[in-house]
Structure 1
């Protein structure tokens, strides 16, 4: 038997209370802590806001130049962007359903951007790039952890 003052006695580690030894995610460690939105989700949200702003601007310009029928066609072709925008409004408080829905809408944005490029519309490259960036940022592990976090 060894005592504290004898050689060979190892001091037991002082376990920290409330911290699990292994944490699979930084967003699951402290369920009651105030969490901030990760950068990838913020970036996806900002890209959705930018895409919606470009849709509004493009619809107004198209309506002023070519008339209301062309403005309606421009707005109709941007329905997936509007869907991503609505999902982005819910990123701070929603669960993984908002993330999955935004990824689906962003996939349609990619598809519509490819269609616009196929028709010879150069603005399709912007739509394509924004859609790819939104899908890429929402598909990261940090984004998934954010949407799986416990809610109050």
Structure 2
């Protein structure tokens, strides 16, 4: 067996004292990025999907949950607003059935009906605002994040006035605030900002 034979795969190459790839690592040519051990260099990895500008990210689980809770609370407010407006008209018909014809009773009934209608309309506007915020979760933006925190804070405040029935809306509002304010929520809503 001869080590100088050119077709022998186990022989020592002609003219070199050391086989390539053994000993000290080979230097990379100029202009080629440094490679890791055994693998080519990988692009940077982001915890929410693509690590490069314009890459699609997946919405974190907490943000998805906050979005669903926002839809649920908005639906509750929408139904509540419609019920309150319906109650205002039922109050007027009940007063007519009772036979109270005094001017004071009529003024009190009109004032109560007006207050109920205003409360119902405010609840409807609040519900629509919550639905718009929930629909904008996919596009992100710090305004949507801040608006969701403010919306949930107002919802939590008003659900305190309706305890013990408002305990569900209070818990959901607090969870929306927590999930949107967490670091992964901040990363989701601020993903479109460009770093300079």
TM-score relative to the length of structure 1: 0.73
**Divergent runs of 4+, >4 A:** 8-12, 77-82
Structure 2: any 5+ residue segments left out of the alignment?
1-17, 27-35, 90-112
Match status 1:63 vs 2:88: no
Say what the alpha-carbon RMSD is for the aligned residues. Answer: 3.1
Equivalent of 1:44, from 56, 66, 72? 66
Corresponding pairs, count: 144
Structure 1 spans left out of the alignment, 5+ residues: none
| Alpha-carbon shift at residue 33 of structure 1 (Å) | 2.3
Contact in 2 for aligned 1:55/1:75 (Cα 8 Å)? no
Please say if 1:16 is aligned against 2:41.
yes
Output the TM-score relative to the length of structure 2: 0.59
Shift of 1:110: 1.1
The question of whether the paired residues in 1 share the 8 Å contact of 2:77 and 2:123 is answered with: no
- Highest RCO, 1 vs 2 (Cα 8 Å, sep ≥ 6): 1
Q: CA shift at 1:43, angstroms? A: 1.3
Equivalents in 2 of 1:26, 1:112: separation in Å? 34
Partner residue, 2:171: 129
| Pair member with larger Rg | 2
